Amino acid sequence: MKAIICKHYAPIQELVYQDIPDPIPEANEVVVAVKAAGVNFPDALIVQGLYQDKPALPFTPGLEFAGEILSCGKDVTRLTAGTRVLGFSAGYGAYAEQVKCHATSVVAIPDDMPFVDAANLVCAHGTAQHALRQRANIQPGETLVVLGAAGGTGIAAVQIGKAIGARVIAVCSSAEKLEIAKANGADELVNYSEQDLKAELKRITQGKGVDVVFDPVGGDAFNICSRCMARNGRLLVIGFASGEIPKLPVNLTLVKEYSLIGVFWGSFTQHEPQVFANNLKELFQWYRNRQIKVITDAELPLAEAVDALQMMVERKVKGKVVLLP
C-alpha cells in the first residue's frame, strides 16, 4: 500500500510517499481502508519533532481518519469487515491507504455521514468540545472569545459555543476570515489587524471582561486577552499556531481572579475514555441536528500531504484540509 513516511524529524518537505507492507491486525486491532484522512496542525509539529509526543522512527503521520474496516483481530467482536468508521490514532498512522489501530479507537458512523466529514470531525470539534465542556464548564449566556476563529478548531469552538448558548466573539486577522466565523454563528467580530483588540473586548463586554477565551494561536493575542479577563474567567491554552509560546505574568491571575487552563485532547481521550465516549454521542447529536458542521477548505490526494501540511503551517486554511488516498 501507499503511505506517507517520516524517516527522520525534519522539515515537512522531507516526508516521503512510498510503498510499505499492508498491515495485519493483532488480536484486539482492526485494519481500516482509509477513505479520507484529516490534516491537523499537530501533524506538522510531530513530523518536525516539535510536539510533546515523538513516535519511533520511521512512522506514518496522521491523527484522524475515516473509512471501511477491512479485517479484524480474533478478539474483536463488536465490529465486522465493511463497517463504516471514523478513527483516531495515537499521533500517527492515518496518512496511508490502510491504517491499523486498536478496536476501541474506531467508532461506527451513519451511512449518510460522508467520509470527508467523518475524517475531519473528531480532532477539531472534539478539542473544542472538551475545552468548553470539561475544562471551561462554559454556561449559557457567558462570553466566549475565539482566537483564530476561521481555523479548524476555531470554527469548531464558534459552533459549539453557540450550541451551548454562549455569546461568541470571533477574532481573526482579516474581513474574509471573519465572514466565515459569522457564517458559523459568531455574534461579534473583531479584526485584530485593523482594530484594537483590547479596546474592542472592553467595549463588547461593557468593561466586565471575558468569561472564556479559546486560544489555539498564542503570541500577542494571548497577551492581550490575559489582560481582558472577567473575574472567575477561564483562559484556555489550546496551542500556538502563531509559532510564539507566550509568557503569562501570573500576577494578572491573582489580581483579576481568573484561571489559566491547559487543554490536551489526546491526553483526555486516554485518561477519561467514558467521558470521551459521552462527548462523541453529543457531537454526533449536534451533527445530526446541524448545530455543528465540518468546513473542509481543500481535498488533496494523499501524495500531496506535504502541500496540505504547508497550507496548515502557513495558516492559509479556512476550516480543515483532508487527504484522499
Q: Say yes or no to pLDDT of 177 above 90.
A: yes
Does CATH place domain 2-109+295-324 in 3.90.180.10?
Answer: yes
Grid coordinates belonging to 283: 457531537
Average per-residue pLDDT in the chain?
A: 95
Query: Which one of 3.30.70.260, 3.20.20.80, 3.40.50.300, 3.40.50.720 gives the CATH number of domain 126-266?
Result: 3.40.50.720
Which run of H or of E encompasses 81?
A: none
Q: How far apart are CA 23 and CA 6, in angstroms?
A: 17
Predicted confidence at residue 90, as pLDDT, reads 61
Give pLDDT tens digits for 93-117: 999 999 999 999 999 998 999 999 9
Give pLDDT tens digits for 79-98: 999 999 999 876 689 999 99
287 confidence band (pLDDT: 50, 70, 90): very high
Backbone phi and psi for residue 151, each to the nearest 5 degrees, phi listed first: -80, 180
Grid coordinates belonging to 56: 519511533
Paired sense of beta strands 98-102 and 29-39, if any: antiparallel
Q: pTM to 2 decimals?
A: 0.92
Predicted confidence at residue 91, as pLDDT, reads 62
Instruction: Tell me what percent of the residues of the chain surpass a pLDDT of 90.
Output: 90
Q: Are 219 and 244 in contact (CB under 8 A)?
A: yes
Give pLDDT tens digits for 223-271: 999 999 999 999 999 999 888 999 999 999 999 999 999 999 989 998 9
Q: Say yes or no to pLDDT of 144 above 90.
A: yes
Which run of H or of E encompasses 215?
A: strand 210-215
Q: Say yes or no to pLDDT of 202 above 90.
A: yes
Q: How far apart are the first and last CA of the chain?
A: 10
What is the residue extent of each domain of the chain? 2-109+295-324, 126-266
- Cis peptide bond N-terminal to 58, omega within 30: yes
